[in-house]
Chains A and B, each alone.
Chain A
Amino acid sequence: MSYYRVFAKGIWEKNPILILGIGMCPTLAVSTSVSNALWMTLAATFVLIFSNIFVSLIKSVVPSHIRIPIFIAIIATFVIIVELTLKAFQPDIYKALGIFIPLIVVNCIILGRAEEFASKNTVLPSVLDGLGMGLGFGLTLTVLAFFREILGSNRLFGYTLIPGMEPATIMTLAPGAFFTLAIMLWGMNALKSRKRR
């Protein structure tokens, strides 16, 4: 596989949310506003890239039966780094994302990529894989947040769109996230099946 393919597969062909169907919990929870989605993407991608680097570096030293606790320790370390840094320098964002920053530890995308890709590949492809997967995650999250923020709170990037209009609150709640995600999945599958024909 060429480096470009390794990078690009995360965005479309193996999009973590729309195709692999992992990492749903943060997706549904933090996609209420575009700025939340962007910060979540940044945090998750940072953890993803660095955990991929370290996992691929130590893959030959670690006995396979204790690999999972080691991966988790590496991921947790980077998550705490992100958490403390955000708390210190971006307190508003930290407040908005709340519990979902520490929960990156159990984000399936990160452990999934460590197990499936980084533990079998060298450092450079692992970085590209992490970057691609992070971008795929972020793009999906941002599109989802774009619609949810506009329809659910009548805002975009925190600014009111139409003054005085009552927004559809259901879009900021869980059902709105499910509806939007379902429509996105439908569109994705429709496009894919057309391509195959």
Chain B
Amino acid sequence: MNASILRSTLILGLTSFIATFALSHIKAITYPVIQKQERQKQENALALVLPGYTIGEERTAAVGRANFTYWTGQKAGGNTTAKAYAFIAEKPGYSGAIRTMVGVDEKGTVLGISIIRQSETPGLGARVLEAASRNTFFQVVTGRAHETGEEPSPWFQEQFRGVNAAAKIAIFKKGDWNETMRDELLLKNGVSAITGATITTKAVKDSIEVGMATLRIALEEHAKAQEAAGK
């Protein structure tokens, strides 16, 4: 009996050791690639939500319970420099947290949003990432497809551009958004919900509102700290 316990333990231990050894090597190979991708993704998202701005420093502020990370951006125009900020907004959606990179100018007008992580239902909530593809299957098969390359950006994210994040954002059920709805919706500071996924839409909207409020606090604190350092 004792011999069998010892033997089992040894075999199990050896298996685990070999498995861990192999995995540590796989991890060493893939880790830098994964890191690079994450950075690339963040840079792409920043460039998307602050178009034309030079991304400045990354700041972290302790607001409430969690750390709040935001970026500053600058754009020279005429004799003034326009300032803008990007932050990461997060709220649980229908299944799991939805993380959104949001770019706003000094007044709180949204310059662009980019959803960087979501796990919503495919075909419903996951349509936050859906771009209206210009190519149909038959066009691709018959070789009459449009040039790929520049795919249109997802309408759900596109419609947030110009919305005032500092005020309440309204949600309307108008079906899929298109460019013609922009003026009408912006007048009411609203966005169109994804059909059948109002929870997802509301989560993104709420996260932007909360994120904007947090950004305000963080900026005030930063200004205060600068002032104190100046004196």
Contact = CB atoms under 8 A, between A and B. Distances in A.
Interface of A: 32-33, 61-63, 65-66, 69-70, 73-74, 76-77, 80-81, 84-85, 87-89, 91, 98-99, 152-153, 155-163, 167, 169, 172-173
A65 B16 CA distance: 17
B230 interface: no
Contact of B136 (A62, A98, A159): A159
A187 to B, nearest CB: 25
Of the listed residues B7, B16, B136, the one surrounded by the most CB atoms of chain A closer than 10 A to its CB is B136
Contact of B7 (A63, A87, A91, A159): A63
B19 A73 contact: yes
Interface residues of B, number: 30
Main secondary structure of the interface of A (DSSP, over half): helix
Contacts of A161: 136-138
B137 to A, nearest CB: 4
Interface in B4-30: 4, 7-8, 11-12, 15-16, 19, 22-23, 26-27, 29-30
Contact of B8 (A63, A84, A98): A63
Nearest to A62: B11
A70 B12 CA distance: 6
A160 B135 contact: yes
A84 B123 contact: no
B230 to A, nearest CB: 44
A80 B25 CA distance: 12
29 contacts: A33-B122, A61-B11, A63-B4, A63-B11, A65-B8, A66-B12, A70-B12, A73-B12, A73-B19, A77-B23, A81-B22, A81-B26, A84-B34, A87-B34, A88-B29, A88-B30, A91-B37, A98-B119, A99-B119, A152-B123, A157-B137, A159-B136, A159-B137, A159-B139, A160-B135, A160-B136, A161-B137, A163-B136, A173-B123
